[in-house]
Amino acid sequence: MKTILVTILSVSLFAFTFKTEPTKYFTREANITFLSDAPLEKIQGINNQAVSMLDISTGAIEFAVLMKAFEFEKALLQEHFNENYVESDKFPKANFKGTITNFSDVKWTVDGEYPVTATGKLTMHGVTKDVTSKGKITVKAGAISATSTFNILISDYNITIPSVVKDKINNSVKIDVTSNYKPYQG
């Protein structure tokens, strides 16, 4: 009995001496900003409620964005965005599911800035397209953040611009992504 008790205590102590680092990181507050810079008007939408998961052991990265959570300077822009362009009632979310192709170049436990490339599928307005984006992973004091900027053509996602406003909305939209991750507790 004494031998069993000593064995259990030894195994327990041994298990607690090795702290495993988390491999999955999560946020519910990723920032997605888009900018349509057209000849007559700049239109910017900001969403601070995007959800993202990052698995540093595989490089897998995912985002889910509620379209109605985009905010605009003018309420009328927000209404037109949701009703006329992205049709948020019919297509409530945009998703990205992909991989950081050079994730093994990132020293996840060493402070620094690491250039990365993500490839994957972006689904928006019921259309899925391949997307490749350059970005940066920053590791600082154990915290992980990611940033990226890329452009999409809204016509690729079957979003049409009426000719009446074609000088106010650019077909090429710049998208900025910023995510500050925390270890996933799940």
Note whether residue 14 is domain-resident.
no
Note whether residue 115 is domain-resident.
yes
Q: How far apart are CA 179 and CA 29, in angstroms?
A: 7
First CA to last CA across the chain, in angstroms?
A: 37
Give mean pLDDT in consecutive 10-residue pieces for the chain, a chain of 186 residues. Answer: 51 48 92 90 93 97 97 89 91 97 96 98 97 97 95 93 79 95 90
Closest CA to 25 of 47, 54, 60: 54
Closest CA to 125 of 70, 163, 165, 85: 85
Note whether residue 3 is domain-resident.
no
The alpha carbon torsion through 31, 83, 42, 126 (nearest 10 deg) reads 60
Note whether residue 106 is domain-resident.
yes
pLDDT attached to residue 40: 79
pLDDT attached to residue 169: 84
CATH code, domain carrying 45: 2.40.128.110
- The residues near 20 (Cβ < 8 Å, ≥ 6 apart) are none
Note whether residue 7 is domain-resident.
no
Note whether residue 28 is domain-resident.
yes
Q: How far apart are CA 100 and CA 137, in angstroms?
A: 10
Q: How far apart are CA 31 and CA 65, in angstroms?
A: 10
pLDDT attached to residue 38: 82
Give the structural domain span for 61: 22-183
pLDDT attached to residue 9: 44
pLDDT attached to residue 22: 79
pLDDT attached to residue 163: 77
pLDDT attached to residue 186: 76
pLDDT attached to residue 155: 92
Q: What's the predicted TM-score (pTM) here?
A: 0.84
Note whether residue 6 is domain-resident.
no
Note whether residue 1 is domain-resident.
no
How many distinct structural domains can be found in the chain? 1
